[in-house]
Chain A
């Protein structure tokens, strides 16, 4: 029993050590905080939003935010051109951005990591074929292809996620392949083979867990990438459709008013900037903390 206690004690102290290392990285903390804000906003939108984001009040259009002249606490960030509460739309908009980011990364990651694992682990002909597919994908301009597809099949949240997910897997494949190539000849892989592990089990249980650091960095980069692409698509009218409160769409809808009521663009723009900044800081931090020297 005392042995068991020491064991759990050891386990706990190792965890504490790891936590401390994460806690000392400034960029990681700031990025994590920004990301956490966005996630809380998305999850608790109905609780946090002061009003219905779809409720139009045409008598109260383009009201300024509370700090500007004529603003009031009734609409802390003012209202948009249809008199909808801007803070509420901003809060609900975080759901769209995160959904796009996570959905794209889930699809792109599944494709890219699988291809990267196979190419890196087997090398030879498998690697040649997969590298060719990656090169072919890199030759396609993401924005143009996305525009073309969305233009053809019509745009919706699902379509945007699918299109971006099916396009943004190249970095996953490239990074995973390189990382796996570096470890596939190490002795612990040979030891697993010598113990009789099957090839799929070696790829998933020996190789994959040892390349998660670089993959996590790509996750954050591509999430930010996807969120910006969605904003761009929505701005062009080919992304998320109104009346959904996407931040990109909010910027698009406000662009006629930029000279008179600049906050309608500045506010969703700042939100987008902070979210993407947070994700990137978080990714950089994760890379630093999980780098071989730091682990």
Chain B
């Protein structure tokens, strides 16, 4: 049994929320740069320039990329042979509180659907936990903005809708969202499971490496086809029209009931902020 102190988790969360909010991932930066070189429209290309310059300024000034520094989402994989000293949930929330204060990040959590009082420290984090069979803790930490989250969708399709039904739903969702989720976007597509599982699959798909693809050949093809078809919509950066609407499509799937085809589409803006840490 390996002992891990809860304070170690607090430290990781505190430093990671600051780091991901200040520094755009290098591979994402390169992908945006490549997109810019292909862009014909002048407005679209200036917007992509702004996004690239923004990342450089944030990096140099050690400042947040975006004013919406997001809600903290943590996917935990806890080894069965780990014992945590202290309360895990409290440790994560303490890390969020400390990081958002220390990093001058915006506190965007309100406590109630209607009273809507700001909790003042960006807690609570949204935490998903899985048990695995080792003696480590893996944390996938994301700061998710509201603009793109608001354009996300869960829909229960029927098996007969098939792959064409799924594609149509994705294309409609991205088209209707237009410039609101700050394109160029990344699409996380969760297929199968049930109602809530599909949403989790979609969120976790957004945390994959930008250049990987689903190991299943049909789903890999779906990722590639959807990327092309979304970009053919012409929504463009910030919705102004252009070649670049989407930078990557990530599909994650799970077994499901014979009667269902749950589909969740989680939209991620260009300010994609997440990191994986193993303790």
| A and B interact physically | no
Q: Which residues in B have some Cβ–Cβ distance to A below 8 Å?
A: none
